[in-house]
A and B are shown apart, each in its own frame.
Chain A
Amino acid sequence: MLELIRDRAIVRDTYHLRTDTLDGILPEEDVIVSPALLAAERARLDQHQGKLGVWLETSEGPEIIAADLARLDLVVVHFSSFTDGRGHSTARLLRERYGFRGELRAAGDVFKETLHYLSRCGFNAFALRPGESLTHALGGLDVFSEAYQTSVERQSPLFRRRLQNVASEENPL
């Protein structure tokens, strides 16, 4: 079983990826399915006891799984290349517009240098590309101690927090 980063810890991945068929699946197995399989096997997956995740390709937006998010434990967003930033918008929409609270995992061309932006867009799990050290990659989450914009990690943009600091310095409780 593969390892990945989840909530800043290195953990084993318990999920199995199923794209074509659910045949042979164990009831308690954690499974990741494609949006197509999710749509086709809705009734069967409703009865499934293990955890349920869905796999979005780089080009697939959150709209196609919006109706199913309540019953999903995991959404995987695949990055065909780290320079294709569509998944960053997908993640923010999942978190901020659709209110998805489960595991949001970046997979594909994911490595240390990409973690900072991904994490701020709402990913809390990272399945690195082959050959990358998980321990080394963890450092990518702490390259910057501050950020200007509003993000999933920190809703309040720096300019609002700066004002709060000024206010609290002026009126120390």
Chain B
Amino acid sequence: MYQYDEIDQRIVDERVAQFRDQTRRFLAGELSEDDFRPLRLQNGLYIQRHAPMLRVAIPYGVLASYQLRKLAYIARTYDRGVGHFSTRQNIQFNWPALESVPEILAELATVQMHAIQTSGNCVRNTTTDHFAGVAADELIDPRIYCELIRQWSTFHPEFAFLPRKFKIAVNGALEDRAATWVHDIGLHAVRDDQGEVGFRVIVGGGLGRTPMVGVVVREFLPLAHLLTYLDAILRVYNRYGRRDNKHKARIKILVKAMTPERFQREVEAEWLSLKDGPATVVPEELARIAARMTRPAYATLPDAVPERLQQALEHDKAFRRWHERNVHAHQVAGYASVVLSLKATGSVPGDASADQMDAVAELADRYGFGEIRVSHEQNLILPDVRQADLHDLYRELKALGFATPNIGLLTNIISCPGGDFCSLANARSIPVAQAIQQRFDDLDRLYEIGPLDLNISGCMNACGHHHVGHIGILGVDKHGAEFYQITIGGNQAPARLGRVIGPSLGQEDIPDAIERLIEVYLEARLHEEERFVDVVERLGIEPFKAGVYASQEREVLYA
């Protein structure tokens, strides 16, 4: 993580004092509900179905073990002992009392954390690859640029009241693990002909009500110009984005209305006045951030697979599976990154109890260098584990319920909190996720099915990223009843949006429908390497549609 200096700390402390004052005045009736709402939202505080919901920022998904312990403490003290890791690599608490939120923020500030701009119509928490800084396929360490953007976006005076929320993602590796094509701005590290690294700038992607894949506004932006270019994009958006209809206020709508070509011209014209100005990034600042980023003191280990690991892989089949699914290559010899699945059967995707958080913090200290990552797939990651220790770690994770070997498989479901908690939701997500997990609980079967992303959102705001799931499930409201629409063929990278297969179904029909989709797939695939999403790409949605709805009719007929 980036370690604050005295100034970073002071800014966060002053924010706590400001919010304490605002909350006091709101409770005393001196600040109206209308005034307080935008102010509390910019501190991550929603008023939800049961109670306020507080969303705490985990900048680019990087946590120190002592920070995770603080989150556990907050869950225990101010909530009901649970936190929910979100698809924006943040954590949400569903039961804090409004009066205690200033106290919670003060607690967070003691470990260099905050809830700044985790909601509201402003620049939100920047997200990145959950293997940032350790991935083997990395061009640059995206955390440096995420931190640069975090500081640039924190209390940016011009862009605090945008037409709508604004999300930026940075990817520094060859594989796009940050969903850069479906963000308001996606920054993807690329190398030009001279070997220099810069960013491909993608604008106007997004999910939600009007899902769109972004467009490239600049193929290569030298790193030094990152902030002036962001200023230019945001200024064009702030001035010309629609404000009359919140459903048409995201930057994607502006880019489309203007046409990408004109939008690009406007941005470039604006940039000409800002380029080479004082916000131009200097290499010393990148070096300063890098120096404040905690770096593990890696041991020099041999490149070969350690004997202990080799043995375990040969003798322990379950471990071999887990190693195949949940362990990721590291850039330092002898190390690996381990994904802790928060998606055991019957669990709530993304939820972790206070005790579980403490246990993970302890493992991070013992097996790693005290660091944890949060993935946008709502899992936790220990980024720096010695390969020789993997089997021991596996056994401990198994005891804690974090060793489900399902990363990349059907039951690694991304899901929003849905109608059980969220006041925006049309339908519940969690029971649907759980029912699917129950149905596909058999590991052999899960492995036979192979790689499959299944994402669930409880409403069209798409917090569960259903459009880019190979199978997407969207909760819809039909005359006051909960129904679910299924899409197939979506993909995160390269980004493709799923297509609706037909009329929405009731909650109890969903596991059967998924079962039918899988049957059609298994019958149609040419070989084991052809994934579900590949078959949808090859055959289109028709055979899947026929599979799901024909059987529906049959059941109705014989019922």
Interface residues of chain A, those whose CB is within 8 Å of chain B, are 61, 82-86, 88-89, 92, 97, 111, 113, 116-118, 120-121, 143-151, 155-160, 162-163
Chain B contacts of A86 at CB under 8 A? Answer: 238-239, 243
Q: Which of A97, A159, A162 has the most chain B CB atoms closer than 10 A to its own CB?
A: A159
Q: How far is the CA of A83 from the CA of B164 in the complex (A)?
A: 10
Distance (whole angstroms) from the CB of A141 to the closest CB of chain B: 12
- When distances are taken between beta carbons in the complex, the residues of chain A under 8 Å from B162 are 85
Task: Determine the chain B residues whose CB is within 8 A of the CB of A144 once the complex forms.
Answer: 11, 14-15, 18, 155
Residues of B within 8 A of A97 (CB): 273
Q: Chain B's nearest CB lies how many Å from the CB of A167?
A: 10
> Can you name 22 A-B residue pairings with CB atoms under 8 Å?
A61-B239, A82-B35, A83-B38, A83-B121, A84-B161, A85-B238, A88-B238, A116-B155, A120-B157, A121-B157, A121-B158, A144-B155, A145-B14, A146-B7, A146-B11, A148-B154, A149-B157, A151-B157, A158-B7, A159-B281, A162-B5, A163-B282
Decide: A83 near B239, CB < 8 A? Known: A143-B14, A162-B288: no
Contact residues in B for A145 (Cβ distance below 8 Å): 10, 14
Contact partners of A148 in chain B: CB under 8 A: 11, 151-152, 154-156
B158:A147 contact, CB within 8 angstroms? no
Bound: A145/B5 CA distance, A: 15
| Measured CA separation A117–B273 after assembly (Å) | 22
Contact with A along B223-256 (1 / 0, CB 8 A): 0000000000001001100010000000000000
Chain B residues near A82: list those with CB within 8 A. Answer: 35, 38, 161
Which residues of B1-40 are within 8 A (CB) of A?
A: 5, 7, 10-11, 14-15, 17-18, 22, 35, 38-39
Residues on A with C-beta less than 8 A from B282 are 159-160, 163
Contacts of B5 in A (CB 8 A): 162
- Chain A residues contacting B243 (CB-CB under 8 Å) are 84, 86
B residues near A61, Cβ cutoff 8 Å: 239
- Tell which of B22, B157, B279 has the most Cβ of chain A within 10 Å: B157
Q: Chain A residues near B156 (CB, 8 Å)?
A: 148-149
A148 nearest CB across to chain B (Å):
4
Task: Decide: B278 and A89 in contact? CB cutoff 8 A.
Answer: no
The reply to whether the CB of B546 lies closer than 8 angstroms to some CB of chain A is: no
B-chain residues with CB within 8 Å of residue A150 when the two chains form the complex: 277-279
Q: Min CB distance, B17 to chain A, in Å?
A: 8
Q: Is B66 interfacial (CB 8 A cutoff)?
A: no
Residues of B contacting A156 in the complex (Cβ-Cβ under 8 angstroms): 278
Of B18, B278, B281, which is in contact with the most chain A CB atoms at under 10 Å from its CB?
A: B278
Please list the 6 inter-chain residue pairs (A to B) with the smallest Cβ-Cβ separation, ordered nearest first.
A85-B161, A120-B157, A159-B285, A148-B151, A117-B157, A88-B158
Contacts A116-B155, A146-B7, A146-B11 known; 19 new A-B pairs at CB < 8 A:
A82-B35, A82-B38, A88-B238, A89-B238, A89-B239, A92-B158, A117-B158, A121-B157, A143-B14, A143-B17, A144-B11, A148-B11, A156-B278, A158-B7, A159-B288, A162-B5, A162-B7, A163-B282, A163-B284
Query: Does any Cβ of A come within 8 Å of B518's Cβ?
Result: no
The main secondary structure of chain B at its interface with chain A is helix
Nearest B-chain residue to A136, judged by Cβ: B30
Taking the nearest CB of chain A, how far is it from the CB of B184, in angstroms?
15
Most buried by A among B158, B161, B279: B158
Which residues of B have CB within 8 Å of A149? Answer: 152, 155-157, 279
Contact between A158 and B151 (Cβ–Cβ < 8 Å)?
yes
Q: Tell me the nearest residue of chain B to A97, going by C-beta.
A: B273
Residue interface mask B522-540, A partner, CB < 8 A = 1: 0000000000000000000
A151 to B161, CA, bound (A): 16
**Would you call A89 and B158 a contact (CB within 8 A)?**
yes
CB within 8 A of B161: which of A88, A116, A146, A158? A88
Most chain B CB within 10 A, of A97, A121, A149, A162, is at: A149
**CA–CA, A113 and B42, complex, Å:** 12
A32 to B235 CA separation, bound complex (whole angstroms): 27
Residues of B contacting A162 with CB < 8 Å?
5, 7, 285, 288
Q: Which residue of A lies closest to B285 (CB)?
A: A159
- A170 CB to closest chain B CB (Å) equals 12
Given A144-B155, A145-B10, A146-B10; A117-B160 close (CB under 8 Å): yes
Please indicate which of the listed interface residues A83, A86, A160 has the most CB atoms of chain B within 10 Å of its own CB: A83
Knowing A83-B161, A144-B11 are in contact, say whether A111-B284 is a contact too (CB < 8 A).
no
B549 within 8 A of A: no
A163 neighbours in B (Cβ, 8 Å): 282, 284-285, 288
- Known contacts A121-B158, A146-B10, A157-B278, A89 near B18 by CB under 8 Å: no
What is the CB-to-nearest-CB distance from A116 to chain B, in angstroms, rounded to a whole number?
Answer: 8
**Interchain CA distance A155-B278 in the complex, whole Å:** 7
